Structure 1
Amino acid sequence: MQLTLGPLQYFWRRDDVFKFYRAAAQWPLDTIYLGETVCSKRRELGTRDWIALANELAESGREIVLSSLALLEAESDLSALTRLVENGHLRVEANDMSAVQLLRDRKLPFIGGPSLNVYNHVALRLLCADGMQRLVLGIELGRELLQEFKDSGEPLPEFETIAWGRLPLAYSARCYTARALDLAKDDCGFRCIDYPDGLPLKTRESRPFLTINGIQIQSNEHCDLAPDIAELHAAGVQLLRLYPQTNDMESVVARFREAIDSGRPPQRIGKESGYWHGQAGMERLPGSGAADPVQAVISPQ
C-alpha cells in the first residue's frame, strides 16, 4: 500500500508551510497533495506559490498533486481554479464539480477528492468516464460501500481513504472561527492562523465535541485506521491518506510505514474509526485507549 500526505487543512504561516513540506519530501511518502482546500481568503500562499512549491517538491521523486477548494464562492475562486487546472503537468485533486468540469473539458485525468459526493456505482462510473483515475473516499464511506463498488462490475479507479487526522465533516459559506470570536467573516482578521490545529468546540456541558477550522467543521479526535491496514488492503484500498498536523507528523508517517512494511498492526491511538466499520464516526473501537506514552503523536489542542 502507498502512503499519501493529504492537503493542509489549516492556515499556517508561509515560512511554516515551506519548512513543513521541505521536511515532508524526505519522509517515506509516495504522494504529497498541495493546495488550499478550505478557504480562499487564506493567502499566505497564492495559487502560483502552491504550483511553484509543487514543482520544487516534484524533484524529490514523490508524486505531487495539486488540490482544489471544496467550496467556491466567487469568480476569483474560479479563476484561481483555472490556473491550478492549467498548471501544465501535475494531476489535480478535484474537490468540487467545478473542478471536474474544467478538467473534463480539457481531457485531463484527475483525482476525485473526499468532498465529491460519490455514494453509488453510477456516480463512480460517470466520474471515471470524465477522467477520474483515483477516488479519495468520503469520510463516511466504509467497507460496505466499497464492496458494492467492487460488486458492480464497473471499471474501478484507485481507492484512497483517510487513515489519519481530524475528519473534514462539513463546509459552510459562513466562517465558524470568525463567529466564535465575534467577528464578521469579511473582517475576520485571518484569526484561524492562531489555531494551527483548529479551535476545539465543546458542548454546553463542557464535553469535547468538534473542531472549528474556518468555514470547515472537523471531528474532535483523530481518525486512526493504522490497526486496520490489512483489512483496508483486502477491501481494495490502495492508498492511505494522512492529514498534516503541527505536532510530530514525521512520527505519524513512520508509524504507518512501519505497519505497512512489517504487516504488524499497531495499537490504535486515534480515537475515531467508526465510519470504516459502518458505525458512528466518533465510535471508539477496541484498542483506542491512547495511553500516555503515545499521546505525543497526537496534536495537542
Structure 2
Amino acid sequence: MKLSLGPVLFFWGREQYFNFYSDMIEQPLDVIYLGETVCSKRRALSLDDWLGLARELKQQGSAELVLSGLTLVEAASELSSLKRLCDNGELLVEANDIGAVQLLSERKLPFVAGPALNIYNGHALREFIDAGMQRWVPPVECSADLVAASLRQLEAMGVARPELEIFAYGHLPLAFSARCFTARAENRPKDDCQFCCQGYPEGIALDSQEGQRLFTINGIQTMSGEVCNLLADYPRLQQLGADLLRLSPRAENMQEVVQSFARVLQGADAPLAVSGCNGYWHGVPGMLRAEEAGLC
C-alpha cells in the first residue's frame, strides 16, 4: 500500500504553497496531487506555475505527480482552462468533473477519477474504465462495504479492477455551491470577494447552537467539521485491497500526519482508535467516530 497527498483544498498564498510542497517532497509519499479543485478565482498559481512546480519536484523526489482539475465548472472560461489542463502533455490528470472525463476520453488519455465523481457501483466503474480511468478515488461518503461490493460487481463482469485510492485523512469535501460561503460570512459579494478565503488557511469552523462542530466552510465548498482519520481502520483497508491512502493537506502538522501513516504502512501496529471521524467508512453518519459508537 502507498501514500498519496491530495490537492490542497484551501486557498493559500503563493509562498505557502511552495514551502509546503518543498517540505512534502521530503516525506515518504508515493503520489502528490497538484492544482486547484475548489474555485477558479484562486489564482495564486497558474497552470504554468503548477507545471513548473511539478518539474522542480520531479528533480527533488521520486513521487508520481498528478494534476487535479476543478470540481465545479460553471463558465466558458473555466471550461477553456480545463481543456488546457487536460492538454498539459506532462502529467496524469485527476478528473473531478464529468466534463474533464469527456475531454480526457476524447483524447484517449488515462485519468484518475476523483472523489467528486458519482461512482457507486461496479457498472458505473466499468463505464469510467472504458473511458480511460486507471485509478478510482471513491466518494468520501462511501462505506467499506459499498466499495467492496462495487469491486465484486466489477469482477463478476470480468473487468480488471482499477487502482483503488481511499480518502483516509483530512476534512471531507462534502458539497459545492455556486454561492461563496466565505464571502457571505464577510458580507462580500462573490464577484468582489477580495479573496477573503485566503485569511482562513483551514477554512471557517461552523458549530451548532449547542456548540457541536458540524461543518467547515471553504469558499464555495462545504467540508466536514471534524477531520476524517482512517488510520485505526488500516486492517480493513488492507483487506479491501486499497492501493493508496489519500492524505488531504492541512496548514499545520502535515509532516506528523504523513509520518504516522507511514509507520503503520511500514509494519507498526495500527492504533485501536484515533481522534477525528470515520462514520462514513462504517456505514453510519460521517460525523460519528465508530469506535465510540461501538461499531468496531
| The two structures share one fold, judged by TM-score above 0.5 | yes
AA in 2 matched with 1:186 = D
User: What CA distance in whole angstroms lies between the structure 1 residues aligned with 2:15 and 2:272?
Assistant: 34
Per-residue deviation, residues 138-185 of structure 1 (Å, max 9, x unmatched): 011111112212221232111111110000010001001111111110
Q: Sort the Cα spacing of 1:15 and 1:267 in 2 relative to 1 into closer, same or farther, 3 A.
A: farther
**1:241-256 pair list within 5 angstroms:** 241-256=246-261
Instruction: Measure the CA separation in 2 of the matches of 1:246 and 1:4.
Output: 17
Deviation at 1:287, TM superposition (A): 6.5
Residue 267 of structure 1 deviates from its aligned partner by: 4.8
Stretch deviating more after TM superposition (177-186 or 150-159): 150-159
The one-letter code of the counterpart of 2:253 is D
Structure 2 Cα separation of the partners of residues 151 and 167 of structure 1: 26
Q: Give the count of matched residue pairs.
A: 288
Structure-2 residue corresponding to 1:129 = 130
The equivalent residue for 1:181 is 186
Cα displacement string for residues 59-111 of structure 1 (whole angstroms, at most 9, x for unaligned residues): 21110000000001111111111111111121000001110011001000000
Q: 2:88, 2:62 → 1: CA distance?
A: 18
What SS is found at the alignment partner of 1:114? coil
Query: Distance in 2 between the 1:185 and 1:269 partners?
Result: 38
Deviations 1:236-268 (A, max 9, x none): 211100010111100000000001112410253
In structure 1, the partner of 2:87 is: 86
Partner of 2:164: 159
What letter matches 1:195 in structure 2? Y
Kept in 2, the 8 Å contact 1:160–1:237? The answer is: yes
The 5 A counterparts of 1:18-33 are: 18-33=18-33
Alpha-carbon distance change, 287 to 250 in structure 1, aligned in 2, over 3 angstroms:
farther
Q: Structure 1 vs Structure 2: percent identity of aligned residues? A: 49
Q: How far apart are 1:58 and its partner, in Å?
A: 2.1
For 1:297, the equivalent position in structure 2 comes to none
Deviations 1:1-40 (A, max 9, x none): 1000000000000000001001100100000000000000
Q: Which residue of 1 aligns with 2:234?
A: 229
- Distance in 1, matches of 2:275 and 2:101, equals 33
Q: Is the 8 A contact 2:181 2:220 kept in 1?
A: yes
1:199 maps to 2:204: yes
TM-score, scaled relative to structure 1: 0.93
The alpha-carbon deviation at position 229 of structure 1 amounts to 1.0
Counterpart CA distance in 2 for 1:287 and 1:180 is: 33
* Structure 2 unaligned spans of 5+: none
Question: Could you tell me how far apart the structure 1 residues matched to 2:292 and 2:261 are?
Answer: 16
Q: Report the aligned-residue RMSD.
A: 1.3
3-state secondary structure, aligned to 1:133: strand
Residue pair 1:166, 1:219 contacting (<8 A) in 2 also: yes
Q: Does 1:260 align with 2:265?
A: yes
Amino acid at match of 1:5: L
Secondary structure class of the residue paired with 2:134 = strand
Match in the other structure for 1:3: 3
| Residue pair 2:282, 2:290 contacting (<8 A) in 1 also | no
Q: Name the CA distance, whole Å, in 2 between partners of 1:86 and 1:77.
A: 14
Q: How many Å separate the matches in 2 of 1:58 and 1:78?
A: 28
